[in-house]
Amino acid sequence: MSSFILQVASSPSLLVVVAEVAIALAVIAVFGTALSWVIIHIAARAGASKSVTGSVRQWVAVLMIITASAAVASLTGLASQFTTLTLSGIAGLAITLALQTTLSNIISGVLLLQDGVLRLGDDIEFQSIRGEVIKLNLRTTWIKNRDGVIVVVGNSNLSAGPIINRTAAARLERKPQV
């Protein structure tokens, strides 16, 4: 047993692979955490609900796990770089096509939150819907109309506009134009 440990410890290629895997996992963790923090910070500044931050953390965690798995498979030799790249590309394409509408809503939600167009409590009008914004998520915005009916609208639909925001005029006028 001790000769096995000495053999493993003296093998420079194994130590290099372990170091590469550790560095790759550390970089993925730092980048994923930073990405999550930036998106959550933007959402919080825009007044998004806590469910938005939870969703962001979950999605970034899934992306980090997929990236880490591909990196470990490639670095340890379980899969060649070409195979890893090909499988990652195919998986990415399949996921993107399957989640096209969801991803469109999420990206639109992030942009709506970042631009500060909508906040909780705003009185908005979109198409034939007029009411108060009661919930902002990454995928959807909930609007309570005057009759008390809650209308859930996908953020990509809201981004396509036009949105009339009757309560945000002062807030939006103060924003510097770039």
pTM, 2 dp: 0.51
Write the CA distances from 153 to 48, 121, 139, 142, integer angstroms. Answer: 15, 16, 9, 6
Domains of the chain listed by start with CATH number: 2-98 (no CATH), 118-174 (2.30.30.60)
Q: Pick from 148, 52, 69: which is nearest to 105 by CA?
A: 52
- Each residue of 91-150: pLDDT tens digit? 778 777 777 787 788 888 888 888 778 888 889 888 888 999 998 888 888 999 989 899
- Each residue of 50-104: pLDDT tens digit? 776 777 778 788 888 888 888 888 788 777 767 777 777 887 787 777 777 877 8
Cβ atoms 110, 40 nearer than 8 A: no
How many residues would you count in the chain? 178
Q: 14: part of which helix (H) or strand (E)?
A: helix 12-45
Beta bridge mates, 123: 132
